[in-house]
Chains A and B, each alone.
Chain A
Amino acid sequence: MSGKKTFKTAALMKELMKKNYEDGLSAGKSGIPIAWVTAVSPVEIIYAAGLFPYYPENFGATVAARKVADKLSAVAEARGYAHDLCGYARCGIGDAYASEHPVGEIIKPDLLLCCNTQCGSLPKWFEVAGRFYKAPYFLLDAPQIGAEPEELVTNYFLEQLKELIVFLEEVTGKSFDYDRLGEVLYYSNEACRLWNEVLDTAAQRPAPFGFFDACFHMFPIVTMRGTKEAVAYYQVLKDEVEERIKEKNYAIPNERYKIYFDHIPLWPKLRWFSDLFASHDALVAVSQYTHSWAYSFDRTRPLESLAEQYTREFVNRFFNYRIELKLKLMRKYNVDGFVLFSNRSCKPTAIGLYDKRNIINNLTGIPGVVFEADMSDLRFFSEEQILAKLDPFFEQLKFSVKK
């Protein structure tokens, strides 16, 4: 549908992903402990302690993108894990028990570090996995930040980071390397900076880069944040995006509208969605999801800075903050409409979307719509129902007057 050439960087990405998986496998063999971690967790500590971080959520997304979520999920469901649980968790648990591994086996943990800023599914999944793999489990607990003073939560988190470091020192038998932490934070900062510079190009009209591109290129920022390789990757990507601007090679052929999108994409239908929006000349330009990785750590006070930034992520925030964040991003990218995906896998991002739609709509007058599906499970996907929501939305876009 879209006429643009694929990114040259795409090939590099495939290599990077493959290498990362292989590194994980060989780390296990050479005695480097594998630590399961969650997407919004201070992975910098894990790198600095010399462990190999592995992201089971990424495994879930891969399973989903390869359209085999139902197969792995069925294995978990046969054991009583209901289909309403987060799809990533279901597939992860399913893979543990499965005899066939359609996307390669999940890498087994030597320890599990879960940060619960994102949701309540991850800690439960990691508890189950900890029992299954007989590996120690550490919960970095982050109470949600609302209107209360934040210090209580950041101090609690900071104290836990110190507990985590002691825990890791016991596991590795080595004392924690703060110099190495400083280096890792530098790479995280650099990767985040470059990533966000790339994301920002979506604000140009027309734009060389959009949300669906971001979904493709986000693997390193999520799972390799803190490494040199991630920084190098985003430098190459940024160069390519700049080249595209010069060449007038845009994300979609005729960009007329910009759209804000919540939240995770429907992985098995990424292509379908990107074509659908492009066919209506609408560029999905921004999402709180892809914009979640925007850290800038203060290396002079590393632990404090980690505690502040990870607990203050929107995933750990209250209703009003999330509305403000959406509004801020919508303004920054000057969007013409917003589409909110009520993802039954992901309760924390989906619950409240109907009220948020109404509130944002009242405040901005911009058309917005909520649709129902699941990020990984096609059993809950109905093209008909989604089009019944999106078609009128695209109509509205045409008639809504641009401010």
Chain B
Amino acid sequence: MGLNTEVLKYFNKVTEDPGQEARRWKEETGGKVLGFLLTDVPEELIHAAGFLPFGIYGGEKGMSLADAHLQNWTCSYVRSCLALSLGGRLDFLDGLVIPQRCDATRMVMGIWNNQKPLSFMNNFRPPRQVERPSAKRYYLGELKRFKKELEEYRGLKIADDELKKSIQLYNSNRTLLLKLFDLHRQDSSLLSSRELYNIIRASMIIPREKLKGLLIRLLDTLNYKSPQKTDQKIKIFISGTFLEPLEIADYIEESGGTIVGDDLKNGFRYINGNIPEEGDLLQNLAEGQLRKIPSASFDNSINPRRNFLVNAVQEKRADGFLLLHLKYCEPENFDYYDIQQVLKKAGIPVQKIETEFGDTSLGQLRTRVQAFLEMLGGVELV
């Protein structure tokens, strides 16, 4: 546990009931909230149109509500998001944006629209090849289309300086979050793994202006006690789609470890990648997306995911690599074997662990994490 500051408590409160911030914001501003599935959505555009982008990061309860619509072999993240909506827990949403990264995200919109139609429902379709010139031209076109549809929904054009302000705000939030990540990496007694990832979740739902203030305050408090020591803990790099459930972070820490890096949708992938604030802003957004860190949905041959991961592990001096296999996530599953082979060749200990939204077998998960950490020389727990 890190410093239990007021701000950290606040972040905890926010993620305990993700809707409350959005509801309050709606009451105060009369604005509209657009939910989005994670990640790779150009939130800056949504924000510039005056809407609150609300990241639906899934939940554990009431998953069975999705059973009548999504087969139990569908990705549990998508199942859990639909279940949240069916259970009335996203009723404050005015719209929904689904980035298409896999067959589950390509197909779920129709069901959602059939069950819980909202006034703005939009698929967002980034290119899946990111290297050839056609990708950039297409992505720019898709951004323009998306922008136009936001403008029609809003009834007003998005002005250049509105977009610029949003990009600036997002850039500063990303920078602040990355600083927090660094701080955590240096000394996890200041900010624990769980606290860090919880903040990243909260950053997807808190109104972004307010978020900025909170992050600055938090950094001030933490910097005040600037890192004195380098962590002696076992450094773990986690990879996959989601850190879910968050308890995994606890299990790592209680076994003497700490998370030093990741490529997750609710982790580094979300907070990384600032957008240049000058020049053609849409173009900058497009280039930013195409330059993003590789993932199963957007792998490329210039910076293949496997090599990227090996480099990241070495750069962060991680002692071990924990592969979080979100059950039924197809794109990810195709990558595991080759990733493991390349890591092993590089001499990096790797362990794959199966996770699932709404799965309650925490005990097993804990045992697995502990066993891996023990193998790496961690604390033996009774």
| Contact surface of A with B, Cβ cutoff 8 Å | 79-82, 84-86, 89, 116, 119-121, 123-125, 127-128, 131, 137, 139, 141, 143-144, 146, 148-149, 152, 155-156, 159-160, 163, 318-320, 322, 342, 344, 347-348, 350-352, 354-355, 359, 372
Contacts and interface: CB of A to CB of B under 8 A. Distances in A.
B138 A152 contact: yes
B107 A152 contact: no
B113 A319 contact: yes
Contact of B137 (A81, A116, A156, A347): A156
Given A159-B137, A351-B74, A80 B334 contact: no
Contacts of A148: 145
B334 A81 contact: yes
Contacts of B327: 82, 84
B110 A355 contact: yes
Contacts of A120: 102-103, 106, 297, 330-331
B102 A318 contact: no
Nearest to B306: A131
A318 B107 CA distance: 7
8 contacts: A81-B334, A82-B333, A84-B333, A121-B330, A143-B100, A163-B133, A354-B69, A359-B114
Nearest to A346: B103
Interface in B109-148: 109-111, 113-115, 123, 125, 127-129, 132-135, 137-138, 141-142, 145
A319 B109 contact: yes
B209 to A, nearest CB: 31
Given A152-B141, A352-B111, A355-B114, A144 B125 contact: yes
Contacts of A342: 71
B129 A139 contact: yes
Contacts of A143: 100, 125, 127, 138, 142
A351 B104 contact: yes
Contacts of B299: 127
A80 B352 contact: yes
Contacts of B138: 141, 143, 152, 155-156, 159
Contact of A141 (B74, B135, B301): B135
B71 A344 contact: yes
A144 B106 contact: yes
A156 B145 contact: no
A347 B103 contact: yes
A348 B325 CA distance: 21
A116 B70 CA distance: 22
A80 B339 CA distance: 11
A155 B135 CA distance: 11
B303 to A, nearest CB: 14
B180 interface: no
A40 B86 CA distance: 35
A125 B335 CA distance: 9
A286 to B, nearest CB: 22
Contact of B70 (A82, A139, A163, A351): A351
A319 B111 CA distance: 8
A162 to B, nearest CB: 8
B73 A156 contact: no
A143 B127 CA distance: 7
Given A124-B330, A318-B110, A355-B69, A79 B142 contact: no
A273 to B, nearest CB: 20
Given A159-B133, A351-B103, 17 more contacts: A82-B327, A85-B334, A89-B334, A121-B103, A123-B128, A127-B334, A143-B100, A144-B100, A156-B138, A159-B137, A163-B133, A318-B123, A320-B110, A342-B71, A351-B70, A352-B108, A354-B69
A354 B111 CA distance: 9
A348 B73 CA distance: 12
A47 to B, nearest CB: 23
B362 to A, nearest CB: 21
Contact of B337 (A79, A116, A137): A79
Interface string B336-365: 111010000000000010000000000000
A144 B101 CA distance: 11
A131 B107 contact: no
A119 B103 contact: yes
Interface string B304-328: 0000000000000000000001011
A156 B141 contact: yes
A148 B327 CA distance: 32
Nearest to B101: A120
A156 B127 contact: yes
B45 to A, nearest CB: 16
B159 interface: no
B285 to A, nearest CB: 16
